[in-house]
Structure 1
Amino acid sequence: MSTSAKIILRKKPNAKGLYPLAIRITKDRRSTYKHIGHYIELEDWDSKNLKVKKSHSEAESLNNLIASKLSEARKGLIALQTDNKGATARQIKKEIYKPTSSLTFFDFADEHLEALEAEKKINRHSTDSAWVSYIEKYCSGRHLTFQEINERFLKKFKIYLKGSCSLTETTAMNVMVLIRLLFNRAIRDKVVSKEIYPFGKDKFKIKFPETTKTGLSGKEIKALESVTELTDMERHSLNVWLFSFYFAGMRVSDVLFIRWSQIYDGRLHYRMGKNSKLLSLKIPAKVEKILLQYIEDRVNDDDFVFPEMKKADLSDAKDIYRKKKVANKKFNDHLKKIAKRAGIQKKVTMHIARHSFGNIAGDNIHPLMLQKLYRHTDLKTTINYQANFIHKDADDALDSVVNFL
């Protein structure tokens, strides 16, 4: 009769094709599993040494987490083997991971923020830290149980956010989304009963106000392309913006990480930072002209095309975040001046490159092809996104009534 706890990579991929890391608890050849909440690609798992390979960007953090979880499980096993030798593998799992109702909202908030930092999601960490600080300030401390978060609490808290904190409806709803996320985790971990869940039908509803996405027209894009007598920094900012636009509105964080080694056979091959999906796109002639302006500065094939990340400490997620943030602000400042000279009244930022591509694509490109270009997981996401830019049917319907003569 033997009992053991071992880290494994379960061969059951999720919708993104990634595999879950789990603790396998075995008793008398019967096993049960406790997922640790992280997924990786099959080639990033060292099955011999039972650890994440260095090829994974977060290998060190994940291996530290694995060691911690294994230690926790094995300590629990030792205690259980002394007190309850007849327990099954499933009973052992339930006993080891038995939740404690003494955990508060801020315990879950701290775990959430720690996980984001470990996963190097600095932008999300910065945003969610701000949301947590609003909750802490409202509660005048860090003593908040999930039982206290009822519909009345949420309604009063929303009033506080919009009144005392002067937040917009959208931002207030984002804070509520974080509370809902942590509440769901507490229910999943059996720290709180789902019977007191304060969100959903006939309860507190999270509803975002409608927003408009404005993109540039083809005529406005041509006006930008035609602006002359730019300073070096203005030309560089416009190059980055156009590079993003020409590649279906590539996010600026992805643009800045493009390396020369990803450009071959007349195509750009890259992995999107937001969802880790691979994409291969033909390099348009207009992009080739932009690349020629930077090729003399290339040190080697692994060098970045654009200069902003060349001096970044790539092992320091916070340094990368800071440099991306500074670069984005710099680009937007210059784009504002360029747009004015081009006679464009709309606000031109790096993010609007994506909206501009969607605006010009309109309903001329099949949604399935746009889904591929945008790398949306769900076609509904693509259709809803494009709905912001398709107005022809509504315009024709209006004309059919108004132009009755």
Structure 2
Amino acid sequence: MSSSAKIVLRKKPNVIGLYPLAIRITKNRRSTFKNIGHYIDIEDWDGKNLEVKRSHSNAEGLNNLLSSKLSEVRKGLIKLQTEGKDASARQIKAEIYKPTSSLTFFDYADEHLQALEAEEKINRHSADSAWIGFIVKYCKTRQLTFQEIDDRFLRKFKTFLKGPSELSETSAMNVMILIRLLFNRAIKDKAINKELYPFGIGKFKIKFPETEKIGLNQQEIKKLQKIDNLSDIEKHSLNVWLYSFYFAGMRVSDVLFTRWSQIYDGRMHYRMGKNSKLLSLKIPDKVAEILAEYVFEKSSDDDFIFPEMRKADLNNAKDIYNKIKTATKKLNDNLKSIMKKAGINKKVTMHIARHTFGNIAGDSIHPLMLQKLYRHSNLKTTINYQGNFIHKEADDALNRVLNF
């Protein structure tokens, strides 16, 4: 049976109620669809003549585009018939929209990992290597082309990640972000046709679940400041955690890399490891008390304040990564026993120091100042983050309704 192609308006609307224009390719009564990338109101579609009605503000432009796309597909069908190729509708679609380069998905994945290693981004390299490993496990081959990765592939792959692989929704979305990154690079290099892009409106959506951010409150911080039944290693771990908290939730890697030379004129000056931002903060009295406990170990201004990185090979990115990872695990393990002794029934890790600062700050500090303290590049990031800890207005509204 011969194959055919026609323009259709698909019947599943997007989130704002518009319907996608698509090309339907049919072979042996089986069809597959290729979205054009444009959406219209159902009232603007002429189902008899298979075109956009003049009532649409851009009817002429859209109809010209539809005609061009349909012509492109029909030429592809004629070429396949001339070559005597017998294929299913899905195979015909893949053939027509085949890549313009022989580079595969895993070629780009390997290049990505090599670049991360060359740039000594070991933490990112470790995570992305793991995500690529899941893709290999799912495909059972490294011969994966970009045109094979469509919306259906991504939905089935997500099921694999959350089912047999037992990944969380957040981790599954991180894998999808990596796939999207490699797609964008391939399109930029013109290695594949942008029509193959499987993400966006009407296609696969990357959406992270809301996560609950819980920090300690003022009373719990006071408990930690007064606790005295700790071992030496527990006392040290608490010092590192409080140091992070007192500096607005400084990241553990930046804490462990703090040198005495960065402390002068009553301030702490440092360049943030994540985005290289420079920051200068006044040293709070409570931080000065912590520093006094370590100054006797100082042999030069170039020394690290805390001991974890003193034996690290600073010319070896992998050794630095491993030292930070090991130190963070030990600190978090010690924090568990510290919270138990303090009678605090919350899961506390080094990262919770950041949530704790946000929780106590609430809505009492202007977002622009919080953006500076958090070292965020975007104010929207700060507002979204701080929204996890601002509950007063909602609480007051609830009380006003129930106060009768």
Q: TM-score interval w.r.t. the shorter chain? A: 0.7 to 0.9
Amino acid corresponding to residue 375 of structure 1 in structure 2: R
Q: Which residue of 2 aligns with 1:178?
A: 178
Question: What SS class does the counterpart of residue 279 from structure 1 fall into?
Answer: strand
Q: Cα distance, 1:243 vs. partner? A: 0.3
Amino acid corresponding to residue 235 of structure 2 in structure 1: R
Q: Which residue of 1 aligns with 2:60?
A: none
Q: Which residue of 2 aligns with 1:357?
A: 357
Provide Cα deviations, 1:54-88, integer angstroms capped at 9, x if missing partner. Answer: xxxxxxxxxxxxxxxxxxxxxxxxxxxxxxxxxxx
Q: Cα distance, 1:210 vs. partner? A: 1.0
Q: Which residue of 2 aligns with 1:400?
A: 400
Please list, as runs of the form range in 1=range in 2, the aligned pairs for 1:4-403 lying within 5 A after superposition.
101-403=101-403
Distance 2:214 2:325 in 1: 22
Q: Which residue of 2 aligns with 1:50?
A: none
Provide Cα deviations, 1:295-352, integer angstroms capped at 9, x if missing partner. Answer: 0111100110000100000000111011101100111111111111111001111000
Question: What SS class does the counterpart of residue 387 from structure 1 fall into?
Answer: helix
Distance 1:337 1:100 in 2: 58
Question: What SS class does the counterpart of residue 144 from structure 2 fall into?
Answer: coil
- CA contact under 8 A between 2:100 and 2:193: conserved in structure 1? no
Question: What SS class does the counterpart of residue 350 from structure 2 fall into?
Answer: coil
- CA contact under 8 A between 2:100 and 2:192: conserved in structure 1? no
Distance 2:251 2:303 in 1: 19
Distance 2:132 2:250 in 1: 31
Q: Quick one: structure 1 residues 102 and 367, their matched pair in 2 at CA, closer, same or farther if it must change by over 3 Å?
A: same
Distance 1:111 1:226 in 2: 52
Q: Cα distance, 1:229 vs. partner? A: 2.3
Q: Cα distance, 1:100 vs. partner? A: 6.7
Provide Cα deviations, 1:332-377, integer angstroms capped at 9, x if missing partner. Answer: 1111111111110011110000000000000000001001111111
Q: Cα distance, 1:119 vs. partner? A: 1.1
Distance 2:378 2:174 in 1: 22
Provide Cα deviations, 1:179-233, integer angstroms capped at 9, x if missing partner. Answer: 0010011001100111111000000001111111111001111111111021110
Amino acid corresponding to residue 174 of structure 2 in structure 1: N
Q: Which runs of 4+ in 1 moved over 6 A?
A: none
TM-score between the two structures when normalised by the length of structure 2 = 0.75
Amino acid corresponding to residue 273 of structure 2 in structure 1: G
Identity %: 74
Q: Which residue of 1 aligns with 2:46?
A: none
Question: What SS class does the counterpart of residue 388 from structure 1 fall into?
Answer: helix
Provide Cα deviations, 1:252-287, integer angstroms capped at 9, x if missing partner. Answer: 000000000000000000000000000000000100
Question: What SS class does the counterpart of residue 199 from structure 2 fall into?
Answer: coil
Distance 1:249 1:169 in 2: 26
TM-score between the two structures when normalised by the length of structure 1 = 0.75
Distance 1:396 1:239 in 2: 36
Q: Cα distance, 1:170 vs. partner? A: 1.1
How many residues align structurally? Answer: 306
Distance 2:295 2:253 in 1: 20
Q: Cα distance, 1:164 vs. partner? A: 1.1
Amino acid corresponding to residue 298 of structure 1 in structure 2: K
Distance 1:210 1:381 in 2: 14
Distance 2:164 2:349 in 1: 30
Distance 1:297 1:383 in 2: 40
Distance 2:189 2:167 in 1: 32
Distance 2:120 2:298 in 1: 28
Distance 1:331 1:164 in 2: 32
Amino acid corresponding to residue 158 of structure 1 in structure 2: K
Q: Cα distance, 1:169 vs. partner? A: 1.1
Question: What SS class does the counterpart of residue 269 from structure 1 fall into?
Answer: strand
Structure of higher CA gyration radius: 2
Distance 2:290 2:347 in 1: 23
Distance 1:282 1:127 in 2: 35
Q: Which residue of 2 aligns with 1:33?
A: none
Structure 2: where are the runs of 5+ without partners?
A: 1-98
Distance 2:100 2:399 in 1: 64
